[in-house]
Amino acid sequence: MLDTEPLDIVGIRREVDAHLADFLDGKARAAAEHRLPGEVVEALRGFLFSGGKRVRPVLCVIGWHAAGGAGDAGPVVRAAASLEMFHAFALVHDDVMDDSATRRGRPALHHDLAARYRARADAPRRGVHAAILIGDLALAWSDEILHTAGLTPAQFQAALPVIDAMRSEIMYGQYLDLTHTGHPTDDLDTALRIIEYKTAKYTVERPLHLGAALARPEAGILSTLTGYGLPVGEAFQLRDDLLGTFGDPHDTGKPVLDDLREAKHTVLVALALQRADPMQKQQLRALIGRRDLDRDGAERIRAVLEATGARDAVEHMISSRLAQAMHVLGAAALPPPVVHALQAIARSATARPS
């Protein structure tokens, strides 16, 4: 990489997608050869290519550049692609657990699969079970993509502890999320830990670490990437929570009432409960978590989130985390194209409309 040439983010995305498509083509051929059901690969292909910004693979490749990675980027891009397949697993199971109706503006995979069995009384249950299995397969295949990425033995050995840590972290994050959904409290600390595990480490820090690990990183680079990655990841999730409550479903591709109906234990709600007067508290408790929450009810919740200053406080948390990440970038001795790319990602992740 020339120190003056910008990183080709669009090109990275295209290469990641090309590798995922190749991998699935191989799986489709293998399934046909062994007379195994082809719909498994096709369901996964449909899911993977219906959207997604490939943020984790892109960050992985940037992490490699950040740590001075040089030479053939092919194996790094392929290892990065494994993160996207893992993410497909995470999203499919997440949608099953949240019983989300849609993902990326289309029916969630378990609903999509249920439609195959529509002649049967237990179609929804079958859709869920097929989605659990296809998610499991995506997890196993993310491994296979990593195993066959063409990494050197040294790169591979360096990658494994990062992968292992990332997986435990996201699953603990999901578990924390799951066990706290349904009864949000004013416990801000827990809401922040859910964000840290479910998003900040998983989506930003560990992808950067994985890329860096593939490039024999100098001491200090991993903690620099953490110093950037955790605040950006937290800000990204805080923005997501705001969009989940105040956003336009046409932009987000997700129904705007899901988070409130599910009663997610978000920072936004924790802050509102901390600041609410008894009347406001009663309103929040009466409305959040109602499966039949309608537009009017949601509007009343939003009014309390605004009136308590919780919405502004979250906006402020996003800004301060963005500033913190920019500060870390400014102080670090990273190649300028890496700094520019990470700045752009931090801005778009925290200011994005969807």
Q: Which of residues 292-351 bind a second copy (CB under 8 A)?
A: none
Residue 31, interface with a second copy (CB under 8 A)? yes
Instruction: Determine if 137 is a binding residue for a second copy (CB under 8 A).
Output: yes
Q: Please identify, among the stretches 2-10, 127-135, 276-284, 337-345, the one whose residues bind a second copy according to the rule CB under 8 A.
A: 127-135
3-class secondary structure, 58? helix
179 in Cβ contact with 193 (< 8 Å): no
CB of 81 to a second copy, least distance (A): 15
71 binds a second copy, rule: CB under 8 A: no
Q: How far is CA 343 from the centre of its chain?
A: 19
Nearer to a second copy, 168 or 348 (CB): 168
Q: How far, in Å, CA of 178 to CA of 171, rounded?
A: 10
Q: Are 276 and 204 in contact (CB under 8 A)?
A: no
Helix (H, G, I), strand (E, B) or coil at 103: strand
Distance of alpha carbon 89 from alpha carbon 43, whole angstroms: 12
Q: How many CA atoms lie within 13 A of 165 on its CB side?
A: 13
Q: Does 144 bind a second copy (CB under 8 A)?
A: yes
Binding residues for a second copy restricted to 145-184, rule: CB under 8 A: 147, 153, 157, 160-161, 163-164, 167-168, 171-172, 174-176, 178-179, 182
Minimum CB–partner distance for residue 99 and a second copy (Å): 8
Least separation in angstroms between CB 34 and a second copy: 8
Tokens representing residue 260 in the block = 């409130």
Q: How far is the CB of 71 from a second copy (least distance, A)?
A: 20
**By CB under 8 A, is residue 96 in contact with a second copy?**
yes
Residues 199-258 that bind a second copy (CB under 8 A): none
3-state secondary structure of 102: strand
Q: Does 42 contact a second copy by CB under 8 A?
A: no
- Minimum Å gap between C-beta 191 and a second copy is 14
Three-class DSSP category at 106? strand
Q: Which is nearer to a second copy, 143 or 186 (CB)?
A: 143
Of 50 and 190, CB closest to a second copy: 190
Instruction: Examine residue 101 and tell whether it contacts a second copy (CB under 8 A).
Output: no
Give the number of residues in contact with a second copy, rule: CB under 8 A: 45
- When asked if residue 37 is in the footprint of a second copy (CB under 8 A), the reply is yes
Q: Which letter, b or e, does each residue of 339-350 get, where b requires 16 or more Cβ atoms within 10 Å of its Cβ?
A: bebbbebbeebb
Answer whether 135's CB lies under 8 Å from 96's CB. yes
Rg (CA), the chain: 21
Q: Choose which of 53, 104, 193, 281 interacts with a second copy (CB under 8 A).
A: 193
Closest approach of Cβ 298 to a second copy, in Å?
21
CB of 199 to a second copy, least distance (A): 16
Contacts of 163 (CB under 8 A, 6+ apart): 146, 210
Helix-strand-coil percent breakdown of the chain, rounded to 5? 75, 0, 25
Nearer to a second copy (CB atom), residue 126 or residue 347: 126
Angstrom distance (rounded) from CA 260 to CA 267: 13
Q: Are 84 and 16 in contact (CB under 8 A)?
A: yes
Q: Of 1, 21, 132, 188, which one interacts with a second copy (CB under 8 A)?
A: 132
The backbone torsions φ and ψ at residue 41, rounded to the nearest 5 degrees and listed phi first, read -65, -40
Q: Contact residues for a second copy (CB under 8 A)? A: 27, 30-31, 35-37, 40, 89, 93, 96-97, 120, 122, 126, 129-130, 132-134, 136-137, 139-141, 143-144, 147, 153, 157, 160-161, 163-164, 167-168, 171-172, 174-176, 178-179, 182, 193, 197
